Structure 1
Amino acid sequence: MSQPSQASKIALLQTGKPQFPEFEKFAKSIQSQERAQFAYDFKHGLREGASKGETPEQRSKKLLAQSRKMVLKHDNKQAISLLRKAIELTPDNAELHAQLGDVLVKDTDNVGAALSCYMKAIKLEPTTGSHYACVATLLMKMQQMEEAIDYFEIAVKFDPKNLIALSRMMHIKAHRLRWNDFEKVPTYLKVFNDKNVVSDPFAFLSLCDDGAFQRMRSEAIVRAKFKNPGRAAKPSPRAEGQKIRIGYFSNDFYNHATMHLMAGLLEQHDRQKFEIYIYDYGSKSKDHEHQRARRNADKFQDVRGMSTSDLVGLARSDAIDIAVDLKGYTEGGRLDIFNDRIAPVQVAYLGYPGTTGLQSMDYMVADRITVPSHLRKHFSESILYMPNCYQPNDENRYIEEMTATRSGFGLPEDGFVFSSFNNPYKVTPQEYDIWMNLLKEVPDSVLWFYVSKAEIRDVIRKEAEKRGVEGDRIIPTGRMPPERHLARLKYADLFLDTFNVNAHTTASDALWAGLPLVTKTGDQFAARVAGSILTAAGLEDLVTVSEKKYHDVALRVAQDPEYFADIKTRLAAARTSAPLFDTKGYTRDFERLLEKAFQNYQAGNAPKSMALSA
């Protein structure tokens, strides 16, 4: 798709007048498709419900309000129809065009139509920042990140109080390693330190390490989006031996980090005690991992496109006892159904490393490291404490046999290989400064750096040069299939973790493949995950609590051959002896915790934090 030129964007910033000929041409090309739909909607019910003497503007305003209710219920088809009726009545209302774009963009097949709507809104109100934020968000969904940053900057220029645009701009800049104004982040964050500010909770995880702040962000969006949280019905008698029904809810039942972790859990569930129901919001592919999920469910249901009321009704009719949310505030999450209450016991698990803020979410699964008692205050949920690590692992994960050498990956055959396989958005100048110092202190060492986009490879090398390190000592590497990714990890010597958001699945991948990791434990859940993983693998000495200690431990691993050899020996033994990789043992513990939570409900008690007794 053609994008506006840099010159036109600069002109817009200077004049406030839109000059987007490429967008306008594109928009006109699809208008004819919309006119037929407009005519149909007008003919089939535009005048229905109109009050006597009601003006077009008044009727249009009512239709807009109705459409928003439909969106909250995930009834997007009805919302689109209502908005098109409203636009026919008041075609010069920019808000209506923008709202229609917001609904259309939820379906990837309607991206073009959504863009047309946003451009109409911009033509009608060329200095309204929110319209540019809509275009930026669409570009973000299309992975056009540089252009998205430009449009978010325009949005913030016209509307400095558009904090959603600001938060997304900061988040995307992190993805692109745009550190030129990183020192401004604390100033930006101050405007979000308000319980009434609505923003994307996920966008802040990598920007600060503050559990109280993250809870504030989650609860703010809950207050804005969700009303009247559902309450659990009173317990009813159960037949002796009746199985507990667990429902797992996600759109990640395919080759995704969530399935890499929990596929073994699904296979190990005790089917004498539990029935497994899976509700798939729309996994991206029907690959091997998807088929594993299907095979290990008593009932697998594709519920993509279901409205809130329909999905809540389905789950309730299935008589789910325990509903497990695997998404939280990650893309495609459906916290709306959990707010309405789909099961007497509702559990947040694995997908989002922070509180949901939902009053109706009863529990969150954690452990004593990710959520020690003094940090429980950062969670609206009661905590279900796993005895070891909260994170499951699949002890049967396949590692491809690879005969390549280091040089095949652009690595030196000799010399120490530091590595970072976290998503680049987690990396900040704070860690990178330490990493560059390590390269200076360890002769002939390199940093093997995972980059999700090829175009930022030069960026990370230039950042090294700014810190006095030759750019060619940063060896970029990209995405690989899971089994090949695990295989390549043997060519690295040490994984350097990030701080605000630790390695999660990536940490377990590294340890499973025999690659040790050094981490620094912080305050929020996301900053404590790798510490939990390393402890469950018997490598507590690689868990640090300060930047200096983090640096010192990493340096010792690189410079002390005996210590390095000892770590590798312990890590090799962990594959068969450590709790981290005991899938069956983990599953039994997880089931006992869920049983305990359900028994607490059956006893008529309110949710409470609980752990397994010895």
Structure 2
Amino acid sequence: MSTARHFASPAEALGYALTLHQNGRHADCSAVCRAILAVRPDHHDASFLLGVAAFALGQIEESHRRLAVTIALKPDLAEACFNLALLLRRRSRLAEAAALQARAIRLAPGQTGAGPVTALGAMLRELDRMAAARAVHRRAVAQAPDDAEAWRESGHALRDEGELGAAAAAYGRAYRLDPSRSESLDDQLFAALSHCDWSEYDDLCRQVLAVIDTGRGIALPLLTLLIDTSAAQQNRAARHFHRVVVQPAAMPQAVAALPAARPLGADDRLTVAYLSADFHEHATAYLAAELFELHDRNRFRVVAYSYGPDDGSPTRRRLEAAFDTFRDIRGSDPDEVQAMLAADGAHILVDLKGYTRHVRFDLLARRLAPVQVAYLGYPGTMGGDAMDYVIGDRFVTPPDHQPYYRERLVIMPDSYQANDRRRPLDAPVPNRAACSLPPDGFVFCAFNAAFKITPSMFGVWMRVLARIPGSVLWLQHAGREGAGNLRREAAWRGVDPERLIFAPHKPQTEHLARYRLADLFLDSFPYTGHTTVSDALWMGVPVVTRMGGTFASRVATGLLNAVGLPETVTTTFDGYEALAVRLAGDPAMLAGFRRHLAAARATAPLFDSPRFTRNLERAYQTMWERHAAGLPPESFTVPPL
């Protein structure tokens, strides 16, 4: 047996190979390991080291094969099980990864610390096996009560089960144990917002802003949209997040090189692939379903790349029928996804997810198609170079905001937001008693998610209630903890807590029907309503909003302008409060706005889905023409039809 040198035994060769590996000479290490295996095919240690070296070299298939061979040779080798579980998890083969991780832990009980147990809990949570995940995380924190990561992952499991107070406490403990992991601070604030616990709100916000401004840690991009930040701060946080979290999520062999400019097919059509985890009963799907149906099939071929659940719903079935091809890529790793896109001849990839829940960083970390576009799911910059463009309009992404985006801005002529004219409109309207509303009195509606409610905004709402006797505030249910916290906040501000009415979750048709009982929709700030505001306007409910300086704080402003109702946009909390009170006291003006919205369903650009689709297609065509001409991405405005 020999390579570049001679060894007295396989053991000596293995020691040399290990030294090479530790010094980063993975190719040389692989050569020595192969030489050992040529003489001793059953040498499990050499097989294991070859698998580890292959992974370091980006040879993922070879690493997978070699680690599997090692386990076959020595089933009780815990290290091989751990390594293959890690690889499988990164390849999104979670069920196999969790089984191997559990096996490795059984093989090496108490010898590996809390890290492997914590990782197993995370895998089980990602598989939605929540009871098992909770049990594993309890074991992890009991085994290592000073392990910050164990507490943080425990917080994730508690959060996903709706135990938000306990989740916030777990995140707080994780941050105290390891203040360098500012993600735990972010998670604590998000959990607190999600159940409207504002007891530490000001202090947590100050700490998160300090993280952004000093660059000393990670600020979760979505969280930065929910608190008082500037567009510049959101950009800074997103860039840091992409560099520290997203880029390392790429598989070792991932490269940033652009795929070659693919020619159009024989039918001269552009292939546009839409990537999302939300092709089911979800707000994004409710907005975009008709867009997918209306694409001009003479000029475009549209493909879905779905990595979210199949909930078996009518929305899922509608979406599957809306695309020319619907690909379920759950369990597919980035190489496999890229191969599918190449086989489909994808020219443009449109990410509908951004930095929202269930995003796959391993896909965002690399270039999968010649032109890549961020759209609809996330109102802000991704902070990286993988996305060439972001779709906006003159309100949410005015041209002078370009410095706050890595992507180039595409300014749509009416609104950036797609809408669905098949949204249910004529379902039976429940009576007020069925919705726990009083028999009379003005109904203010605020159906945005609980995590969008800030203490300042809630204070405005309470002042409005105080000025309109007999009125109530109708909210989406915030869970038991959230409802209790909001009622306590109302009492502290001198408002009877019983004037807060909570609407339980309902299917979309029933949810939209109950909008008919609302008199005026009160928007949140700084993260304004997106689908909720479109729903309110579609159902004929006027909306009062405040416009800020960031994408998320300007969405409702753009929607109201696109529906022809700019009169209900304000720029300060005082102006917001005054307008809400004035409208509640002026039935004639409110009725006029309602008549306007009823007519706008058929006339306003916001709900003109064919017009929107043609505009978006012209944007795609412009992007592709630049790419095909060898030109770099550049901002542009889509002229009105």
TM class by shorter-chain length?
0.7 to 0.9
Report the counterpart of residue 174 of structure 1 in structure 2.
193
Change (3 A) 1:99 1:568: same
Distance 1:508 1:338 in 2: 28
Distance 1:181 1:87 in 2: 41
> Structure 1: which amino acid aligns with 2:201?
F
Query: Aligned-residue CA RMSD in angstroms?
Result: 2.7
Change (3 A) 1:146 1:263: same
Report the counterpart of residue 226 of structure 1 in structure 2.
247
Matched, 1:482 2:508: yes
Kept in 2: contact 1:363–1:607 (CA 8 A): yes
Shift of 1:94: 1.7
Report the counterpart of residue 574 of structure 1 in structure 2.
600
Report the counterpart of residue 345 of structure 1 in structure 2.
371
Report the counterpart of residue 271 of structure 1 in structure 2.
297
> Structure 1: which amino acid aligns with 2:225?
L
Distance 1:252 1:134 in 2: 24
Change (3 A) 1:473 1:368: same
SS in 2 for 1:525: coil
Report the counterpart of residue 342 of structure 2 in structure 1.
316
Matched, 1:438 2:459: no
- Pairs aligned (count): 565
2:235 pairs with one of 215, 218, 222? 215
Kept in 2: contact 1:249–1:323 (CA 8 A): yes
Report the counterpart of residue 47 of structure 2 in structure 1.
48
Of 307-316 and 399-408, the range deviating more from structure 2: 399-408
Kept in 2: contact 1:75–1:308 (CA 8 A): no
> Structure 2: which amino acid aligns with 1:427?
I
Matched, 1:249 2:275: yes
Matched, 1:386 2:412: yes
Q: Give ranges in structure 1 of 5+ residues lacking alignment.
A: 1-42, 52-58
* 1:397-436 matched pairs, under 5 angstroms: 397-436=423-462
Shift of 1:386: 1.1
Of 127-136 and 335-344, the range deviating more from structure 2: 335-344
Shift of 1:477: 1.5
1:448 pairs with one of 474, 487, 490? 474
Matched, 1:464 2:490: yes
Matched, 1:396 2:422: yes
Of 430-439 and 61-70, the range deviating more from structure 2: 61-70
Shift of 1:62: 9.9
> Structure 2: which amino acid aligns with 1:460?
L
Change (3 A) 1:89 1:426: same
Matched, 1:104 2:90: no
State the TM-score, normalizing by the size of structure 2: 0.82
Change (3 A) 1:82 1:97: closer
Matched, 1:206 2:206: no
SS in 1 for 2:296: coil
Shift of 1:213: 2.1
State the TM-score, normalizing by the size of structure 1: 0.86
What is the percentage of aligned positions where both structures have the same residue? 31
For residues 567-608 of structure 1, give each alpha carbon's deviation from its aligned partner in whole angstroms, at most 9, with x where no partner exists: 122112111110001011111111111111111111111111
SS in 2 for 1:140: helix
Change (3 A) 1:116 1:93: farther
Kept in 2: contact 1:219–1:356 (CA 8 A): yes
* 1:139-178 matched pairs, under 5 angstroms: 139-178=158-197
Kept in 2: contact 1:83–1:96 (CA 8 A): no
Kept in 1: contact 2:194–2:482 (CA 8 A): no
Distance 2:127 2:43 in 1: 26
Kept in 2: contact 1:87–1:96 (CA 8 A): no
Change (3 A) 1:408 1:394: same
Report the counterpart of residue 187 of structure 1 in structure 2.
206
Kept in 2: contact 1:83–1:100 (CA 8 A): no
For residues 60-93 of structure 1, give each alpha carbon's deviation from its aligned partner in whole angstroms, at most 9, with x where no partner exists: 9999788656644445546974796588468423
Change (3 A) 1:182 1:141: same
Shift of 1:260: 0.7
For residues 253-288 of structure 1, give each alpha carbon's deviation from its aligned partner in whole angstroms, at most 9, with x where no partner exists: 111111110111111111111111111103240211
Change (3 A) 1:69 1:357: farther
Change (3 A) 1:302 1:234: closer
Report the counterpart of residue 13 of structure 1 in structure 2.
none
Shift of 1:473: 1.6
Shift of 1:112: 5.3
SS in 2 for 1:100: helix
Kept in 2: contact 1:422–1:503 (CA 8 A): yes
Shift of 1:141: 2.1
> Structure 1: which amino acid aligns with 2:558?
S
Distance 2:318 2:298 in 1: 19
Report the counterpart of residue 358 of structure 2 in structure 1.
332
> Structure 2: which amino acid aligns with 1:162?
R
* 1:53-64 matched pairs, under 5 angstroms: none
Distance 2:495 2:517 in 1: 22
1:93 pairs with one of 112, 123, 127? 112
Shift of 1:241: 4.4
> Structure 2: which amino acid aligns with 1:463?
E
Shift of 1:553: 1.4
Shift of 1:513: 0.4
Of 305-314 and 156-165, the range deviating more from structure 2: 156-165
Distance 1:578 1:474 in 2: 33
Report the counterpart of residue 528 of structure 2 in structure 1.
502
Change (3 A) 1:222 1:63: farther
Kept in 2: contact 1:401–1:487 (CA 8 A): yes
Change (3 A) 1:602 1:80: farther
Of 190-199 and 369-378, the range deviating more from structure 2: 190-199
Of 143-152 and 85-94, the range deviating more from structure 2: 85-94
For residues 392-419 of structure 1, give each alpha carbon's deviation from its aligned partner in whole angstroms, at most 9, with x where no partner exists: 1111211243253323323234322111
SS in 2 for 1:329: coil
Of 210-219 and 65-74, the range deviating more from structure 2: 65-74
Shift of 1:376: 1.9
Distance 1:110 1:484 in 2: 30
Distance 2:269 2:403 in 1: 34
SS in 1 for 2:444: strand
Report the counterpart of residue 128 of structure 1 in structure 2.
147
For residues 549-569 of structure 1, give each alpha carbon's deviation from its aligned partner in whole angstroms, at most 9, with x where no partner exists: 111211221112332222122
> Structure 2: which amino acid aligns with 1:202?
L
* 1:7-26 matched pairs, under 5 angstroms: none
For residues 305-334 of structure 1, give each alpha carbon's deviation from its aligned partner in whole angstroms, at most 9, with x where no partner exists: 111222222222221111111111112222
- Largest Rg, 1 or 2: 2
Change (3 A) 1:420 1:549: same
Matched, 1:372 2:370: no
Kept in 2: contact 1:177–1:459 (CA 8 A): yes
Kept in 1: contact 2:147–2:177 (CA 8 A): yes
Q: Give ranges in structure 2 of 5+ residues lacking alignment.
A: 1-41, 51-76, 249-253
SS in 2 for 1:137: helix
Kept in 1: contact 2:185–2:204 (CA 8 A): no
Distance 1:142 1:479 in 2: 16
Of 443-452 and 265-274, the range deviating more from structure 2: 443-452
Change (3 A) 1:437 1:78: closer
Report the counterpart of residue 531 of structure 1 in structure 2.
557
SS in 1 for 2:390: strand
Change (3 A) 1:177 1:325: same
Distance 1:371 1:544 in 2: 18
Kept in 2: contact 1:518–1:553 (CA 8 A): yes
Change (3 A) 1:100 1:442: closer
